[in-house]
Amino acid sequence: MPLITISHSIGSNGEAIARRVADSLHLELYDDSKLQQIALKIGMHAEDLKSLDEKAPGLFDRILTERPQVYLDLMESVVYEVSRHGEGVILGHGSQMLLRSFECAFHVRIHAAEATRIQRIVNQQNLSPKAAEKLIKKFDDRQKGFLRYAFGLDWNNSSLYDLIINSDKLNIDTAAKLVVDATQSEDIATCSLNALDTMEKLSKEKQVHAILIKHNVDVTNLYIEVTEEGTAHITGLASAAEDIDRMNDAVKDVPGISEVVLEVTLFSGGYV
């Protein structure tokens, strides 16, 4: 079964197409609600889950001003956790960028002209055309700004996608069928066990990275690696003795981490 990411903009019918694809292929759809459930399952705290909702009021301001790396780590760890199963439909959340190195993932972009999006929002939300236009601009600016900040990439870069669908001309059923037919072709590889193991490893490493920052540990000169057995290896330089003291206890809070191995020395200066 395929692992599919579907990126979309408000008013493009992306959510409806993603749901139709998931239903047709009998796959789980990982939308905001489902991703939050996964986050709780792997041990994240409720206050962190606000960062998983790309539509949450003030989200992008928070990401840019309040410990941005923590929220990025949390989002990435959830996407990798979902992906380690090797199948499913992930809706948004930078999944096309996080999984761009995995050949078994199939990346789809749903696009529509602004006029079409405005009319759909007017019909669906009972807004005036002017209000719908402002809503689109607000959401687009947030998404573009966040993805550029988080990944240093433009989400309009066509090289990020395997299939781009213009929903101006194609209805939900037709667009979904294009995705289903493409992913069922022999050209799309099934995720190997090695790829799935890598995703699980990345998920744990992002969780360790996030919890260290949350415990006020300076991670600038630290390297984190998690083994298949659940051992977290942390190597590098600490800026304060207190950081070393906090690392062991902090990382043990990460579900699935059975042991913490520290090879960290106190930064003594002298490096340029």
Based on the domain organization, do 123 and 49 belong to the same domain? yes
The per-residue pLDDT for 167 is 94
CATH code (residue 129): 3.40.50.300
Task: Quote the number of domains for the chain.
Answer: 2
Domain boundary among the residues 183, 201, 231 is at: 183
Q: Is residue 251 part of a domain?
A: yes
Q: Is residue 26 part of a domain?
A: yes
Based on the domain organization, do 249 and 177 belong to the same domain? no
Phi, psi dihedrals of residue 14, rounded to the nearest 5°: -60, -40
Amino acid, single-letter form, for residue 169: K
> Over pLDDT 90: what percentage of the chain?
29
Q: Is residue 60 part of a domain?
A: yes
The domain in which residue 8 lies consists of 3-183
Based on the domain organization, do 71 and 125 belong to the same domain? yes
Q: Is residue 136 part of a domain?
A: yes
Based on the domain organization, do 160 and 248 belong to the same domain? no
Based on the domain organization, do 145 and 259 belong to the same domain? no
Stated pTM of the model: 0.73
Q: Is 247 exposed, middle or buried (0-12, 13-18, 19+ CB in 10 A)?
A: buried
Cβ proximity of 52 and 71 under 8 Å: no
Based on the domain organization, do 166 and 262 belong to the same domain? no
Q: Is residue 203 part of a domain?
A: no
Based on the domain organization, do 170 and 227 belong to the same domain? no
Enumerate residues 6+ apart whose C-beta is below 8 A from 57: none
Based on the domain organization, do 116 and 233 belong to the same domain? no
Q: Is residue 191 part of a domain?
A: no
Structure tokens at 61: 């301001």
Q: Is residue 272 part of a domain?
A: no
Domain boundary among the residues 167, 183, 199 is at: 183
- Give the dihedral of Cα atoms 264, 265, 267, 269; nearest 10 deg: -130
Question: Across-strand partners of 231?
Answer: 259
The per-residue pLDDT for 192 is 66
Based on the domain organization, do 102 and 13 belong to the same domain? yes
The per-residue pLDDT for 57 is 47
The per-residue pLDDT for 213 is 78
Strands (E), 9-150: 29-30, 88-91, 105-111
Q: Strands 163-166, 105-111: parallel, antiparallel or unpaired by DSSP?
A: parallel
The per-residue pLDDT for 63 is 43
The per-residue pLDDT for 165 is 95
The per-residue pLDDT for 207 is 80
Residue 216 per-residue DSSP state: T
> Over pLDDT 70: what percentage of the chain?
84
Q: Max Cα separation, the chain?
A: 63
d(CA 27, CA 93): 18
Based on the domain organization, do 178 and 230 belong to the same domain? no
Residues of the chain with pLDDT under 70: 1, 42-71, 189, 191-196, 268-272
Based on the domain organization, do 14 and 124 belong to the same domain? yes
Angle between helices 68-83 and 193-214 (to 10 degrees): 160
Based on the domain organization, do 221 and 178 belong to the same domain? no
Q: Is 239 exposed, middle or buried (0-12, 13-18, 19+ CB in 10 A)?
A: middle
- With residue 176 as reference, give the H or E element that holds it: helix 172-183
Q: Is residue 138 part of a domain?
A: yes
